[in-house]
Amino acid sequence: MTRKSPARRLVSGPERNRVAAELKARYEAGASIRALAKEAGRSYSGVHHLLADAGVAFRSRGGVTRGGPAG
């Protein structure tokens, strides 16, 4: 018997594809990975893997970059 609750179990097959597609659509609409993970009750890493498997082009992390304008 596993210790994980049913909501936290990894999904597989068509269900995984459906979840990944939903997360992809929401990410591409502007939601952050952290927000998606919190709403889905999953880890950041788990959501990131689902998005990667769905073929998402990840956004840059933002913030100030070295050598860039300071303001």
Mean pLDDT of the chain: 83
DSSP codes joined into one string, 15-32: HHHHHHHHHHHHHHTT--
Model pLDDT, residue 66: 67
What φ, ψ does residue 43 adopt, rounded to 5°? -80, 160
Q: Which of residues 26 and 62 earns the better pLDDT score?
A: 26
Q: Report, as an integer, the average pLDDT of 16-20.
A: 92
Residue ranges covered by each domain of the chain: 12-53
pTM for the predicted model, two decimal places: 0.71
Please report the beta strands in 1-71, taking only residues with DSSP state E, as ranges in sequence order: none
12: closest CA among 56, 57, 58, 49?
49
Q: Residue 24 has which token pair?
A: 């992809």
